[in-house]
Amino acid sequence: MSLGVIFTYLMTFGGSCISLFNPFVGLLIYISFAIIRPASTWGYALNSSIPYSRIVAIALLVGWILHGCGNWKLGRGRVIITVFFAYWVWAIVCAIFAPNQPVAWGFVENTAKILLPLLAGVSLIDSLERLKKLAWVLVLSLGYVALEMNVSYYQGINVMQMQGHGGLGNNGTAIAMASGVGVAFFLGMAESRIWARGLAWFATLLMTHSVMFAFSRGGMLALGVTAVISFFLLPPKKPKHLFGLFLVILIALRLAGPEVSDRFMSTFAKSEERDGSAQSRLDLWADAWDTMKTHPILGVGPDHWPLTAPKYGWQQGKEVHSTWFQTGAELGFPGLIFLGGFYVLCLARLWPVVREKVSSDDPWVHHMSRMVFAGLVGFIASSQFVSLEGLEFPYFVVLLGIGVLRFAPQPYPQLRVRRVPALSTATIIPGKS
């Protein structure tokens, strides 16, 4: 029996029992399973009839309810989770009027599988130590997937390019890895323990290399954006930071190779030089935009664009290859605003913390704000090129951001100076002559 199988059974059944008494443990296991996806990673040795993640989720929710549904003093992070809840409610409204009811309600159910752990998570992360544990679970889980991809690549089988991981395909997996690079890099910056810093940066290297041999233009764009924003988010620049950036660029160029570089640059080629894949994306975006204008409020229905695609000459099942255009086409402009607002609000509220406009006794608060900012900016930019509503990793990064906002002090208010007219030297004081 492999270690992966032992890990899966131990976390599923042992972890579920612990979750009834400590639901935070169930939350970490559920998030780890959502990233590693045991059925995909060790499916050859696991009993496929056992719903591992569902068992953990049920134990998590039962324990959460038994313990009073956690602490809801969320501070400035409350509005972020509220916007995502509104996104889910709007999906229900759209599903009611959707032509294909089973497909629409399947989308609502899948979104609920993301919403419920987020609701439990924001109320259970009631200390900075728990927030640190969440960050490590995100990095170690995605780092393990990256390790598996690197091992298979060096054994001569490029699983990353051929199928990706857990049904996400090479594009979705590469973008998750690129988002994870920002989280892992700043986790290493935050750690004072040498071994922990080395582990986080080793995971960063594994994720970076995975993106390179995924041959995903969206993933490479996400990686580039994450690298640039990470450099600008660093604390005051020192010569070692500049040297580190130069070294990272050299390593990235060496790992990329001419094939990767040529494929990435084809994204920006002229129309007559563009390959069919790049051109089809632009055509799909144009068709999705037309759908948004035709159905601006309710869209065509949750998860209905693949059913609508034949109307524009595409085969049934074709995705838009853009999270934002597909969301707008399926859920209308309100759905797009809710989903986009979920991410943008998180970035906007974290910005004062990132720029250290607020003081904190624990430097981890600022480091974790940078983790979230770097991870989300890369995802938001690259998801324009891939349909990724179901990619769970960025939702958990936002969960990390909500936790940071919970413990970060309020930004310094801008003081308004009120001018008081000066007394005239000729002022007559009563009783004086």
Contact call for residues 107 and 303 (beta carbons, < 8 A): yes
Q: What DSSP character marks residue 429? A: P
Cα–chain center distance at 34: 13
In percent, how much of the chain has pLDDT > 90? 51
Cβ of 341: how many Cβ atoms within 10 Å? 18
Q: Is 319 buried (19+), middle (13-18) or exposed (0-12) by CB count in 10 A?
A: middle
Contacts 24+ apart (CB under 8 A), 5-12: 5/42, 5/45, 5/46, 7/38, 8/38, 8/42, 8/46, 8/52, 11/56, 12/50, 12/52, 12/55, 12/56
User: SS3 breakdown of the chain: % helix, strand, coil, rounded to 5?
Assistant: 70, 0, 30
pLDDT class for 416, splitting at 50, 70, 90? very low
- Which residues are CB-neighbours of 28 under 8 A, at least 6 positions away? 133, 134, 137
3-class state of residue 164 by DSSP: strand
Q: Is residue 31 pLDDT above 90, yes or no? A: yes
Give the distance, in angstroms, between the CA of residue 144 and the centroid of all CA atoms in the same chain. 17
Most confident of 77-86, 258-267, 276-285: 77-86
CA distance 285 to 334: 18
Q: And the tokens for 338?
A: 């809710």
Are 197 and 191 in contact by the 8 Å Cβ rule? The answer is: yes
Residues 6+ apart with CB under 8 A from 293: none
381-388 mean pLDDT = 84
Rounded-to-integer distance, Cα 193 and Cα 197, Å: 6
The pLDDT score that the predictor gives to residue 238 is 59
Distance CA 92, CA 331 (A): 10
Please write the tens of the pLDDT for every residue from 107-117. 999 999 999 99
Task: Write the CA distances from 391 to 8, 168, 323, 337, integer angstroms.
Answer: 21, 8, 10, 18
Show Cβ contacts of residue 400 under 8 Å, excluding neighbours closer than 6 positions.
Answer: 131, 134, 135, 138, 183, 368, 371, 372
Residue 39 has what pLDDT? 86
Is residue 251 scored above 70 in pLDDT? no
Q: What is the pLDDT of residues 290-310, one digit of tens each?
A: 999 999 999 999 999 999 999
For 184-193, the pLDDT digits (tens) are: 999 998 888 9
CA distances from 346 to 6, 76, 128, 133, 161 (A): 37, 9, 18, 20, 31
9 φ/ψ angles, rounded to the nearest 5 degrees:
-65, -40
Q: What is the pLDDT of residues 175-214, one digit of tens each?
A: 999 999 999 999 998 888 999 999 998 999 899 989 988 8
pTM, rounded to two decimals? 0.86
- What is the tens place of the pLDDT at every residue in 405-415? 988 776 655 44
